[in-house]
Amino acid sequence: MQVSLIVLAAGLGSRMNSDLPKVLHPLAGVPMLHHALAAGRALEPSRVVVVTGHGAEQVSKSALAYDEACEFVVQDPQLGTAHAVAQAAPLLADAPGDAIVLYGDTPFVRAETLEAMRAARATHAVVILGFVPADPARYGRLIVDGDQLVRIVEYQDATADERAITLCNSGVVCAEARTLFQLVSQVGNQNAAGEYYLTDIVELACALGLSVGFVTCDESETLGINTRAQLAAAEAAFQTRARAEALENGVTLTAPETVFFALDTHIGRDATVGPNVIFGPAVTIESGAEIKGFCHLEGCHVSRGAVVGPFARLRPGAELAEDVHVGNFVEIKNAVLDEGVKVGHLTYIGDAHIGEFTNIGAGTVTCNYDGVMKHRTTIGKRVFIGSDTMLVAPVTVGDDALTASGSVITEDVPAAALALGRARQVNKPGLATALMARLKAIKAAKGKS
Ligand code: UD1
Ligand code: CA
């Protein structure tokens, strides 16, 4: 059966005390919103509708960066969660199959949990995701009768007895799309907050004789982020899980508690990661590669047998083939390094292609930026780039060529050629001693005056 997603992301998030919309605050290297979209994507939804409000433009731009098929509705003003869902009616009221409501500020719902909710739809018209938190605090409470959910009561509207209930509402809902919009259209705002509560659909469904069920999950999945302290706690929770998963998947982490992962970090079995390594978004490390300590990687691919670091930085578009070696204080950006390339020390490679088994000497720079535009450097196979070579792009160095140390290469180098681009050295016999004697005499004379 088809499924559509409705992701609520209109709220201001005032407790974040921020100009940035809450759902765009980064978590595990990506905007918080992307986590919910990722969990939903596992269901292969036919439509994804994001309800925006505060910072609508920024939020939709970010959602599109994750999934360009996302659609948007704007909720203005924000009159509650049922009102938010109702905004999606023009797009989804006639959508075939189910609809699932997710929250932009609830990042850790697992795809397996959403699958369990869909499975429960076989016996219930509406399925709610519940959980039993250590501290039920101000969550809505689920009032159940056997396997039937009878009502959800918001904390503010609950009696003391109802507040004593520990089974709480996560907010996640799964129902047939048509049913969901029918129910939502009937919700009123006669409650303590004067808001249109999505939770009221439970009672409305029951009144129509529909079966309402619930699925439960671990509290860690429903953790909602309202403050920066909760954001930091969520980050810590994510990292703890990601480290454990990497170890479980056969990755060696020398000091797991010092390694930071992004939502989409992929590391192959038998890869090794040293201490204090940070993975930004979109990194893939193949099996058997080694990332030594203190490296920072984002948007890059490291192949089998490659060794990176310590103290290396791989930026977006860095593509390292098998057995490449990138050493300390080397930065690589938007560059392909073919098999066996060695860039050992103190080097910047940007907007470049380097052919197999080429060696790049210490202190080499691809001068890719002229202050206005970026230009490419192309280096062939088995080339030896001497230390401290400045490659002023656009420039091409042919296969098996060699550049002399300290060269500034502004013209293409043909294959197999030696390129010298530096001033010729002149030695003046005895002049060093004479020069020093003269300088010392000047200093002595000044001292007397
Ligand atoms: C909601 C639930 C509560 C549940 C809790 C779980 C309701 C009425 N209550 O309460 O039972 O225990 O979540 O965290 O649903 N939003 C909009 N537009 C609006 C209002 C909210 O898009 O008009 C979005 C918010 O940006 C947020 C989400 O919906 O992502 C939840 O809204 P919030 O106000 O945080 O609901 P809670 O009071 O936490
Ligand atoms: Ca909330």
How many independent structural domains does the chain possess?
Answer: 2
User: Is the domain of 8 the same as that of 90?
Assistant: yes
Tell me which of 222, 243, 266 is where a domain ends: 222
User: Is the domain of 204 the same as that of 235?
Assistant: no
pLDDT interval class at 110 (50, 70, 90):
very high
pLDDT at 230: 94
Nearest partner of 180 among 107, 96, 114, 116, judged by Cα: 96
User: Is the domain of 202 the same as that of 292?
Assistant: no
Percent of the chain residues topping a pLDDT of 70 = 100
- Is residue 426 one of the residues assigned to a domain? no
Distance, first Cα to last Cα, the chain: 98
User: Is the domain of 28 the same as that of 171?
Assistant: yes
Q: Inform me whether the pLDDT recorded for 448 exceeds 90.
A: no
Nearest partner of 46 among 123, 88, 98, 9, judged by Cα: 98
Tell me which of 196, 222, 248 is where a domain ends: 222
The protein residues having their C-beta less than 5 angstroms from ligand 2 (an ion) are: 224
Dihedral of CA atoms 376, 382, 387, 392 in degrees, nearest 10, equals -20
The number of the ligand nearest the C-alpha atom of 137 reads 1
Q: 346 and 329 in contact (C-beta within 8 Å)?
A: yes
- pLDDT tens track for 301-314: 999 999 999 999 99
User: Is the domain of 207 the same as that of 237?
Assistant: no
Mean of pLDDT values over 239-259: 98
Candidates 23, 81, 142: which one to mutate for ligand 1, based on the most atoms within 8 Å of Cβ? 81
pLDDT interval class at 107 (50, 70, 90):
very high
Q: Inform me whether the pLDDT recorded for 447 exceeds 90.
A: no
How many alpha carbons lie under 13 Å from residue 36 in its C-beta half-sphere?
32
User: Do the bridges between strand 71-74 and strand 47-52 make them parallel or antiparallel, or are there none, so unpaired?
Assistant: parallel
Q: Inform me whether the pLDDT recorded for 443 exceeds 80.
A: yes
User: Is the domain of 216 the same as that of 188?
Assistant: yes
pLDDT at 38: 96
Question: Rounded to the nearest whole angstrom, what is the distance from the C-alpha of residue 190 to the centroid of ligand 2?
Answer: 20
Which CATH number is 371's domain given?
A: 2.160.10.10
- The closest residue, in CA terms, to atom 6 on ligand 1 is 170
- Is residue 443 one of the residues assigned to a domain? no
This prediction has a pTM of: 0.90
- Active site includes 345? yes
Prior bond to 414 cis, omega within 30? no
Question: How many angstroms separate the Cα of 148 from the Cα of each of 127, 143, 210, 213, 296?
Answer: 10, 9, 10, 5, 50
DSSP H or E stretch at residue 438: helix 431-448
DSSP-derived 3-state class of residue 446: helix
User: Is the domain of 268 the same as that of 400?
Assistant: yes
Tokens 């454990």 belong to residue: 244
Q: Inform me whether the pLDDT recorded for 320 exceeds 90.
A: yes
User: Is the domain of 173 the same as that of 283?
Assistant: no
- Is residue 427 one of the residues assigned to a domain? no
Mean of pLDDT values over 5-16: 94
User: Is the domain of 106 the same as that of 240?
Assistant: no
pLDDT interval class at 416 (50, 70, 90):
very high
**Active-site choice (296, 345, 353, 375):** 345
Mean of pLDDT over the chain:
97
- pLDDT tens track for 26-75: 999 999 999 999 999 999 999 999 999 999 999 999 999 999 999 999 99
**Dist. CA 124–CA 114, nearest whole Å:** 15
- pLDDT tens track for 130-142: 999 999 988 999 9
- pLDDT tens track for 177-201: 999 999 999 999 999 899 999 999 9
Q: Which residues, listed in sequence order, are joined to residue 394 by a DSSP beta bridge?
A: none
**Dist. CA 385–CA 428, nearest whole Å:** 29
Domain that holds residue 46: 3-222
- Is residue 337 one of the residues assigned to a domain? yes
The number of the ligand nearest the C-alpha atom of 227 reads 2
- Is residue 234 one of the residues assigned to a domain? yes
Question: Rounded to the nearest whole angstrom, what is the distance from the C-alpha of residue 414 to the centroid of ligand 2?
Answer: 64
- pLDDT tens track for 277-300: 999 999 999 999 999 999 999 999
**Dist. CA 50–CA 219, nearest whole Å:** 24
Question: Rounded to the nearest whole angstrom, what is the distance from the C-alpha of residue 123 to the centroid of ligand 1?
Answer: 26
Q: Inform me whether the pLDDT recorded for 12 exceeds 90.
A: no
User: Is the domain of 61 the same as that of 172?
Assistant: yes
Which CATH number is 33's domain given?
A: 3.90.550.10
**Dist. CA 301–CA 266, nearest whole Å:** 10
User: Is the domain of 241 the same as that of 373?
Assistant: yes
pLDDT at 264: 95
User: Is the domain of 122 the same as that of 260?
Assistant: no
- Taking the CA of residue 168 as reference, the ligand 1 atom at the shortest distance is 12
